[in-house]
């Protein structure tokens, strides 16, 4: 089966849950299955503001955001996206009121219990990254159970960032390199290069994100995937996370597909124009 055929077949799973003629249907039809991002990362921001704007407690925003998570996971799985990384809890989030932090852990456990059977049926593999040993024991148990159950799945890799910090990840990667060198007796000759760091990141084995989405309109990356997003396309929307649903994710993917990714080089049009100029200059020198 050709790559295009495989991508098209995977995308047909999305149309199974869409209504013909609806906005989501039209957007999905516009998506090019050959140019999907392999890895999407999302900074899920705005739950508190969503609740405050409705005169509700912050927990109501977090609870509403669970539906946006479900829709994002389902959409990416049906599109055939390889990986989806969600920024769920940063190392800085411990500064929030204790009751809110406890509520976040409770909602995570509720989400896993409610959605795990469906994710497993859809071939989603669930993993978590961050300084997970500092999480509450019950949360770690739920995550371990989800990871173990879905370990053999080959569809979407749902990677949840918990107690995560981009800087901490880099520190942990370098320390892992140094610790290995000490244990192997090669410390005096240890050399740290890009490949060594990349292979010791929490995301080792995953492609770097092609598309980073941030909701709530904030123009910052908040210490998220500092190494991995070096060449990611950034998409910022004013929508608050609980309002970011399937059509909005499809719009972000379509925006990604309209961009020209150059990775520091020239795009095809500029290369062609440069070649024409050089050719014309060469002809002029020959006269």
Q: What residues act catalytically?
A: 45, 93
Task: Tell me whether strands 157-164 and 211-214 are parallel, antiparallel or unpaired.
Answer: unpaired
Query: If we measure between CA atoms, which residue out of 164, 157, 160 comes closest to residue 142?
Result: 160
Question: Virtual CA dihedral for 190, 191, 194, 196, nearest 10 degrees?
Answer: -20
Q: Which residues make Cβ contacts (< 8 Å) with residue 132, sequence separation at least 6?
A: 140, 143, 162, 163
Distances from the Cα of 150 to the Cαs of 44, 60, 125, 145, 207, in angstroms?
24, 29, 5, 9, 20
| Cα separation, 166 vs 172, whole angstroms | 10
What is the edge-to-edge ordering of all strands in the sheet holding 211-214? 125-129, 157-164, 83-90, 39-43, 211-214, 233-236
Structure tokens at 143: 């995550």
Tell me if residue 212 falls in helix, strand or coil.
strand
Closest by alpha carbon to 246, among 118, 79, 80, 10?
79
Question: Which of 213, 174, 227 shows the shortest CA–CA distance to 84?
Answer: 213
């Amino acid at each position: 089966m050709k790559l295009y055929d495989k991508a098209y077949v995977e995308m047909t799973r999305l149309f199974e849950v869409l209504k013909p003629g609806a906005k989501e249907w039209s957007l999905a039809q516009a998506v090019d299955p050959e140019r999907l991002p392999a890895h999407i990362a999302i900074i899920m921001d705005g739950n508190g503001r969503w609740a405050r704007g409705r005169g509700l407690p912050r927990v109501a925003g977090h609870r509403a955001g669970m539906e946006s998570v479900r829709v994002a996971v389902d959409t990416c799985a049906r599109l055939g996206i390889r990986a989806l990384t969600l920024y769920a809890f940063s190392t800085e989030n411990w500064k929030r009121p204790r009751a809110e932090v406890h509520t976040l852990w409770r909602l995570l456990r509720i989400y896993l219990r409610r959605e795990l059977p469906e994710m497993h049926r859809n071939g989603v593999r669930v993993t978590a990254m961050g300084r997970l040993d500092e999480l509450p024991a019950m949360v770690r148990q739920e995550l371990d159970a989800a990871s173990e159950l879905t370990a053999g799945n080959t569809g979407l890799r749902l990677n949840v960032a918990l107690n995560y910090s981009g800087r901490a990840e880099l520190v942990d990667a370098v320390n892992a390199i140094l610790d290995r060198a000490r244990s192997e007796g090669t410390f005096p000759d240890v050399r740290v290069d890009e490949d060594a760091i990349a292979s010791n990141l929490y995301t080792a084995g995953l492609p770097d994100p092609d598309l980073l989405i941030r909701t709530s309109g904030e123009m910052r990356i908040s210490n998220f995937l500092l190494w991995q997003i070096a060449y990611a396309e950034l998409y910022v929307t004013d929508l608050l996370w609980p309002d970011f649903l399937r059509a909005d994710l499809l719009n972000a993917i379509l925006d990604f597909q309209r961009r020209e990714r150059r990775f520091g080089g020239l795009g095809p049009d500029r290369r062609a124009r440069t070649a024409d100029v050089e050719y014309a200059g060469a002809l002029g020198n020959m006269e």
